[in-house]
Chain A
Amino acid sequence: MHGKIMNASFDALVIGGGIAGGEAALNLANNGFKVLIVEKDLSIGGKMILLSKVFPTLDCSACITTPKVSEISRHPGITIFTGSEVKSISRKSETSFEAVVIKTPRYVIGEDCTGCQLCEQACPVLVHDQFQYNLVGRKAAYIPFSIASPRVAAIDIENCTLCGACEKVCPTKCIDFTQEEEEYCIDVKTVIIATGFNLFDPLKIPRYGYGTYKNIITSMQMERQLAPTRPFNTILRPGDGKVPDRIAYVLCTGSRDMTVGNPICSQICCMYSIKQAQLLMGALPMADVTIYYINIRSFGKGFEEFYDQAKGMGVNFVKGKIGKITENENGNLNLRYEDINENVVRESEHDLVVLSVGVLPNTDSKALFHDGDLKLDPFSFVDQADPLASPSKTSIDGVFVAGTATGPMDIPDSILSAGASSAEAISYLNRRL
């Protein structure tokens, strides 16, 4: 169901409005180029905007991201399409591409929405809140999350019962169920791929019991529990609402594991788990936190000191590979593991288990390019054609890559990568204009 097909032209198309895409777009726009960001979610900010704090400084993640997304949103040189996806990109001439972008209806007139949330209060429907990683519900008429950008309501049409309650209470009459999908044909001179990464789905390791045992959560669910905009009033087990006091982290869940097809290190799990352990010790001073690891990889600036700080705070580090997790009648979990230092199999009981899930490639961008073959590396991340001399260059001239689309990396490296990508794109544009 298409509405109208619209045409537009920009200097640069940035696919993905996470921290890397946003940074690249800002750099391009600050240099006078007209940029379009296409983001599939309803808000820009990517995964970073949902984090609690960042390692190793423990700065508030939202406090860093919010001013940045605000700057991106208000920049006159940047146009943002949220809830939109690039369908295809084909080369139009030596110096330009044509991108087809599909914008799905939000059923809300963004310019008129004040973010008052009256529609959300009136909506009678409750479904899982994907921005809280399903720990609580949200309405079918909803603001994605409190610091979303744009802070504009959206209607989840798949779950909406079309009762009209939201429309009746909307003070600006901005809810519009007549909106239809829009298709845009966009001329661009350069493309930056900043599609980020996917998180490993722990359902692929049934022996860990995720999904079956309700007191096993992912690190992103714990991240939400630790964030200021958290789903619960404190840290709780989702299985029964108990405040946990023996928490275990299972590192390398879906990383460095050939059995799930991902042999590489995700580079961030050790450090985000250590960060969460420190935050948990602040939130629950009486809790015991144990991290089960194969190797701790604290390779970045200040990382080793951060690891030492966690040990000093009392976080227990066990060099052990988890074989199986089972559940007791009281909802506690037994971890059966190989104690690598002692060479024995042991069991230990915890009341909450956090799976430190790894980073997987987002391969969506591969299918976008019709004419040129966008090469992926052996691990299905976007291949860097010249990683040492020109790290953002891809196999297609005029197409650059930024952030974790190239491989696992932390936030500072993503921002550096976005800087490199935008610098190369600016140089490319200047050569051709």
Chain B
Amino acid sequence: MEIEKGKTYKYLREKREVSQAAKDNLKQFIKIKKSILDALQESDLTIEQLTQKLNMPANEVVYYLMSLVKYGFVQTGAVDDMDAYFSYKLKK
């Protein structure tokens, strides 16, 4: 096949099958990202509040939320009175 610069992914698609695990991982991330961003749309939340709202294990919320902070979707807000938990908000 003719390989067009800027569209070489089509070439590899012909030669290599994307694994089911990679597809499942992408689906899961899209779903979790949407649920976190939707929850933060309503108000700033702590990890504990997000955990309850999304019914997800707290360690998974930390992982995904911090990844969304890293990629600029979410930003860290204020810390609570006990200096224990930060709140998180959408990056506008």
Q: Which A residues fall within an 8 A CB radius of B?
A: 120-121, 124-127, 135-139, 157-164, 167-168, 170, 173, 175-178, 214, 231-234, 236-243, 245, 286, 331
- Cα A65 to Cα B38 with chains together (Å): 42
B66 touches A178 (CB 8 A): no
Q: If A137-B70, A161-B23, A231-B70 touch, does A178 touch B16 (CB 8 Å cutoff)? A: no
A162 touches B12 (CB 8 A): yes
B48 touches A159 (CB 8 A): no
Q: If A158-B19, A238-B59 touch, does A233 touch B7 (CB 8 Å cutoff)? A: no
Q: Flag whether B10 is at the interface (Cβ < 8 A).
A: yes
B67 — nearest CB in chain A belongs to which residue?
A: A137
Q: Which residues of B contact A163 (CB under 8 A)?
A: 9
Expressed in whole angstroms, the minimum distance between the Cβ of B36 and any Cβ of chain A is: 12
A178 touches B12 (CB 8 A): yes
- Cα A120 to Cα B63 with chains together (Å): 18
Q: If A124-B29, A125-B29, A126-B67 touch, does A240 touch B9 (CB 8 Å cutoff)? A: no
Give 24 A-B contacts (CB < 8 Å), ordered by A residue. Answer: A121-B71, A124-B29, A124-B30, A125-B25, A135-B66, A136-B67, A137-B64, A137-B67, A162-B13, A162-B16, A163-B9, A167-B8, A175-B8, A177-B8, A231-B66, A231-B70, A233-B86, A238-B59, A239-B62, A240-B47, A240-B59, A241-B46, A242-B47, A243-B83
- Cα A346 to Cα B85 with chains together (Å): 30
A177 touches B51 (CB 8 A): no
Q: Flag whether B39 is at the interface (Cβ < 8 A).
A: no
Q: Which B residues fall within an 8 A CB radius of A?
A: 3, 5-13, 16, 18-19, 22-23, 25-26, 29-30, 33, 46-48, 51, 58-59, 61-67, 69-72, 76, 79, 83-86
A125 touches B8 (CB 8 A): no
Q: Which residues of B contact A158 (CB under 8 A)?
A: 19, 22
Count contacts between A and B, CB distance < 8 Å: 112
A170 — nearest CB in chain B belongs to which residue?
A: B6
For the complex, would chain B's binding face be called helix, strand, loop or mixed by DSSP majority?
helix
Expressed in whole angstroms, the minimum distance between the Cβ of A174 and any Cβ of chain B is: 10
Q: If A126-B67, A178-B11, A178-B12 touch, does A240 touch B62 (CB 8 Å cutoff)? A: yes
B79 touches A162 (CB 8 A): no
- Cα A168 to Cα B8 with chains together (Å): 10
- Cα A5 to Cα B26 with chains together (Å): 35
Q: Which residues of A contact B11 (CB under 8 A)?
A: 177-178
- With A124-B30, A125-B29 given, name 12 new contacts (CB 8 A): A125-B26, A126-B25, A126-B29, A126-B33, A136-B66, A161-B23, A162-B12, A175-B9, A231-B70, A240-B47, A243-B84, A286-B83
Q: Which residue in B3, B33, B86 is a CB contact (below 8 Å) of A178?
A: B3
Q: Which residues of A contact B64 (CB under 8 A)?
A: 126, 137
Q: Which residues of A contact B72 (CB under 8 A)?
A: 121
Expressed in whole angstroms, the minimum distance between the Cβ of B57 and any Cβ of chain A is: 8
B47 — nearest CB in chain A belongs to which residue?
A: A241
B9 touches A167 (CB 8 A): yes
- Cα A245 to Cα B82 with chains together (Å): 11
